[in-house]
Structure 1
Amino acid sequence: MNMLVIYTHPNHQSLSYAFLQEVISGGKENGNIGEIKVLDLYEEGFNPVLVFNEKKRRRDIHTDPDLAKYREQLLWADKIVFVYPIWWGRPPAMLLGYIDQMFASGFAYKDTGKLLPEGLLKGKSVVCVSTMMGPAFYPLFWLNNAHKVLMRKALFNYVGIKKVKFFEFGSMESPRGKHKEKLNKIYNYFKAVAG
């Protein structure tokens, strides 16, 4: 299986970066994973800003030549892993800008005239590894699970990806946040995951 890891944090000294390293380390020891590619959106200088005008139309974004290599990465991947912090109850704007451009009509889904479109990314699986300052129960009880609903239902299920797993680690700015235990959990998951 091919694994694409999309990392979204501006600081390589961050805990998110440590989680990225555990994803890679575990994945390299997993015989089910053939190749791993990492897309670091900040290091890449990915432009999250949508531009629509006379030359760039929304309906043509799925063929934008500036995004071709990112489309190829998504098509290549069997498993897509997102590593990011949760800020204000949602992923960083950089990642949302990537999603806005990459999960476009004509590439990630096709309108069928029915209530829901045809997802064009069927057969892939997704893992979201996220960290937050607040306690782990905060998104569930205070925000009605908005983060998971956004990612699973509004995005991944919409484009045909049904297998979605979440690791939401809370209290990450606390010295009692059990960082090593959580990092080890990610390493072990990716070392053993089958699909």
Structure 2
Amino acid sequence: MKVLVIYTHPNHKSLSYAFLKKVIQGSSENIHIADVQVLDLYEEGFDPVLMFNENKRRRDMHIDPKLAKYREQILNADKIVFVYPIWWGRPPAMLLGYIDQMFASNFAYKDKGGMLPEGLLKGKSVVCISTMKGPKFYPLYWLNNAHKVLMRKALFQYVGIRKVKFFEFGSMESSKGRHEKKLNQVFQYFKSVAH
């Protein structure tokens, strides 16, 4: 299994980075994982801003040469792992800008003229590891589970990815956040996951 980890946090001393390290550590001890590639969007200097004009059209995003290496990373991965904080009830703008550009028509999905497109990324699986300041149940009770609905239904199912696992950790700025237990949970998952 080949794993692509997309890390989205500007600080390498953050808790998100600690989770990234646990993903890498667990994967390195897993006999089912042959390769782990990490894309650090901030360190990469990824430009999240969409720009369209007479020379750059939205319908051509799937062949944009500047995005070719990122498309290749997605195509080569069996499992795509996203590590990010939840800010204002959703992933950071940097990650959303990546999603806007990478999950493009004729690459991630193909319109068929009906209500739903054909997902072109079938067979892949996704893991979302997110942290937030608020309590664990805040997104469910206060935001109608908007984060998970956005990621699972509006994005991944749309492009054909059915297997989506969430590690959504709350109270992470609290001394009672049980950080070590949650970090170990992620480590154990990647140490043992088989597909």
Letter matched to residue 148 of structure 1:
K
Letter in 2 for 1:55: N
Between Structure 1 and Structure 2, how many residues are aligned? 195
Corresponding residue for 1:62?
A: 62
State the Cα deviation string for residues 103-139 of structure 1 (Å, max 9, x = none): 0001000000111000000000000000000000000
Name the CA distance, whole Å, in 1 between partners of 2:171 and 2:59.
41
CA distance in 2: counterparts of 1:28 and 1:158, whole angstroms: 31
* Matched residue SS, 1:129: strand
The superposition leaves residues 7-37 of structure 1 with CA deviations (integer Å, 9 ceiling, x where unpaired) of: 0000000000000000000001001100000
RMSD, aligned α-carbons: 0.3
Runs of 4+ in structure 1 over 2 Å off: none
CA distance in 2: counterparts of 1:34 and 1:182, whole angstroms = 25
- State whether structure 2 residue 20 is matched by structure 1 residue 20: yes
State the alpha-carbon separation in 1 of the partners of residues 55 and 95 from structure 2: 24
After TM superposition, the score normalised by the length of structure 2 is 1.00
CA distance in 1, matches of 2:163, 2:56: 33
2:166 corresponds to: 166
Q: How does 1:21-170 map to 2 (within 5 A)?
A: 21-170=21-170
Aligned residue in 1 for 2:184 = 184
Q: Which residue of 1 aligns with 2:175?
A: 175
Instruction: State the AA in 2 paired with 1:75.
Output: L
* 1:187 CA drift (Å): 0.2
Unaligned runs of at least 5 residues, structure 2: none
* Residue 67 of structure 1, CA deviation: 0.2
Structure-1 separation of matches of 2:48 and 2:65: 15
SS in 2 for 1:135: coil
Gap regions ≥5 residues in structure 1: none
Partner Cα separation in structure 2 for residue 49 and residue 89 of structure 1:
20
SS class of match (2:157): helix
Q: Distance in 2 between matches of 1:101 and 1:5?
A: 17
Percent of aligned pairs with the same amino acid = 78
Distance 1:56 1:147 in 2: 31
Secondary structure of 1:159's aligned partner: coil
The one-letter code matched in structure 2 to 1:67 is L
Question: TM-score, normalised on structure 1?
Answer: 1.00
Give SS of 1:3's match. strand
CA shift digits 1:73-109 (9 cap, x unpaired): 0000000000000000000000000000000001000
SS of 2:158's partner is helix
SS at match of 1:133: coil
